[in-house]
Structure 1
Amino acid sequence: MIQEMVEQVQIIRQKMRASQDRQKSYADTRRSDISFEVGEKLRRYLSDPSHVLSPEVIEVDEQLSYLETPKEILDRKVRKTRNGETALVKVLWTKHNVEEATWETEASMRESYPHLFA
């Protein structure tokens, strides 16, 4: 009975070694298929004074915060919910790009910044 068990353990070890060898050879073939062709696409950067960006001056208070004001309203939409409808406006803020515009409720914007709706 012990002899049978020893033989089965040897068979299991052989199968495990074979499986590991297959995994290693597969990994080696996959690794050799990968090639990097980045060198052809990269070019040396030549310095150009027109690429230099000038920083914006932002006035910061004692708490290291600043007042953000809306520049213009870009879009309007109405969100329908179970309880009713909410009018929204897309606001472009100062010192931000169009991609950073946010949707705000029209009522709160009319209350805080009525000059935008004139």
Structure 2
Amino acid sequence: MAPYEALYGRKCRSPLYWDEVGERRILGPDSVEEMIEIVRRIRQRIKEAQDRQKSYPDVRCTDLQFNVGDKVFLKVSSSKGITRFGVKGKLKPRYVGPYEILENVGPVAYRLALPPSFGNVHNVFHVSQLRKYVFDPKHVIHQEEMILNPDLSYEEKPEAILDRKVQELRNKAIASVKVLWKHHGYEKLRGN
């Protein structure tokens, strides 16, 4: 007894022979050609449905390609309990970096120049884990203008007061001040 017969209680019917079991009929070339055509049409319709379903997410997908020397952000793993990149939980950053691309390992894999503090993190990442870094001058802090203390801290000094406002709350007056700080890259606000 065949496994199909044991499971379903009847003999298996092939796509070429749909008659009841027990009936004997000689299949001619016309019947075989008809069944082959039906199977071909079924496969074609399945392929069309798969292509249609695949086209929906492909509209939003873009092929990301980076060059050697580009700067990219690295996506932080969303695994629970991992504190590899600093803060754990809701307050952890989504991306860390920017890091420079050292080489293109494959069509979708890149080797990054990671700092030694990452220790045992492998330096080859899939393109889906990377995000292009767009240079912004506000991200640069000029070291020569800063005076560092021996404990590597620095004192922030206000450069200008941009706005001042007093809010009345019940019987209290609360003053709030908007200040332009030095070394924050916003010197162009004043017109310098």
Question: Is the TM value for this pair above 0.5?
Answer: no
Structure with bigger helix share is 1
Place the TM-score, normalised by the shorter chain, in its bin: 0.3 to 0.5
